[in-house]
Amino acid sequence: MFLYGVVNASPDSLNEDSIVSDADSAVRRARRLLGEGADGIDLGGQGSTDHATVVPWESEWARLADVVPAIAALGVELSIDTWRPEVARRALESGATVINAADGMQSDAMWQVAAEFEVPIVVPFLSGPNPREMQLVRTDPVATMLEFFEARLRVADRFGARARCVLDPGTGFAPPEWPWEERFVYQREVYTRLDELRSFGLPIYIAMPWKETAQHDELLDIVVRQRPEFGRVHYPAKVRRFEAAALDVSDGAGHGG
């Protein structure tokens, strides 16, 4: 699995380890993530959680302007995590290589940027226009995702971008005030049904569970065994350990015990 280690240039991520304040601290964190097993870096300048302050795109870009070229100089894949096409464009001009489209690619403006730069596009499922304005999914979650992706990929076809899309079930986002127990059940169902999202013939991308709880570890184990092509991680070494454990079990089963 190709892992993108998380670097947050916004000050309000739930994972404080991921927060950086300038280009130097961003490069230090990026190097640490790469040393722990990440293959690339995912960089964002706008928090998506309930308590994060939504800033104008100009302020979001100000947080990123020095950081993007500094990380890009490391020579690894760098995805820009944003729902603003203005930010995506500037990040790609400064060295980013992937759009991690936190708007779910629901605007022509974002597709135009993706088409112009001809980069891979992570397309997450969203039950709203952006991660801060989402509703609870009351219907079958995977069926709802399939409808969402069908609609997004029709637009991708219009821009000649379908082959560069990577599908993300959007489990790293959540509506406000969603109780964890309900979110856990939702994520567990989605993760056990990832194969249904493969009907489009496109790679799968997952925001990996990272908190140190038994339920988060259960979700991480389920995800790793589904073998998505890409993951977004805060602690790559832990994900690599889970991958190794899953591989050991698979090899053991293949040798008849």
Q: pLDDT, tens digit, for every residue of 116-173?
A: 999 999 999 999 988 888 999 999 999 999 999 999 999 999 999 999 999 999 999 9
**Structure-block tokens of residue 145:** 């995702």
Q: What is the pLDDT of residue 253?
A: 58
Q: What is the pLDDT of residue 81?
A: 97
Flag the least confident range among 54-58, 91-95, 166-170, 250-254: 250-254
The pLDDT-based confidence of 53 (bands split at 50, 70, 90) is: confident
Q: What is the pLDDT of residue 34?
A: 98
Where are the strands (E) in 83-229, listed by range? 98-101, 121-124, 165-168, 205-207
Q: How far apart are CA 102 and CA 81, in angstroms?
A: 6
Nearest of 45, 52, 39, 34 to residue 10 by alpha carbon: 45
**Selecting from 3.30.70.20, 3.40.50.2300, 3.20.20.20, 3.40.50.300, what CATH number does the domain 2-254 have?**
3.20.20.20
Q: What is the pLDDT of residue 248?
A: 78
Q: What is the pLDDT of residue 150?
A: 98
The pLDDT-based confidence of 227 (bands split at 50, 70, 90) is: very high
State the average pLDDT over residues 102-118.
97
Q: What is the pLDDT of residue 257?
A: 41
Instruction: Tell which phi-psi region holds residue 250, choosing left (phi > 0), alpha (psi between -120 and 50) or beta.
Output: alpha
The pLDDT-based confidence of 254 (bands split at 50, 70, 90) is: low
Q: Which residue has the tokens 């464009």?
A: 89
CB 110 within 8 A of CB 88: yes
Kindly list the domain boundaries of the chain, sorted by start residue.
2-254
State the average pLDDT over residues 239-243.
97
CA atoms within 13 A on the CB side of 229: 12
- pLDDT at position 256 over 50: no
Q: What is the pLDDT of residue 131?
A: 87
- pLDDT at position 251 over 70: no
**Structure-block tokens of residue 68:** 């993007």
- pLDDT at position 51 over 80: no
Q: Which residue has the tokens 């980013």?
A: 96
Q: What is the overall mean pLDDT for the chain?
A: 94
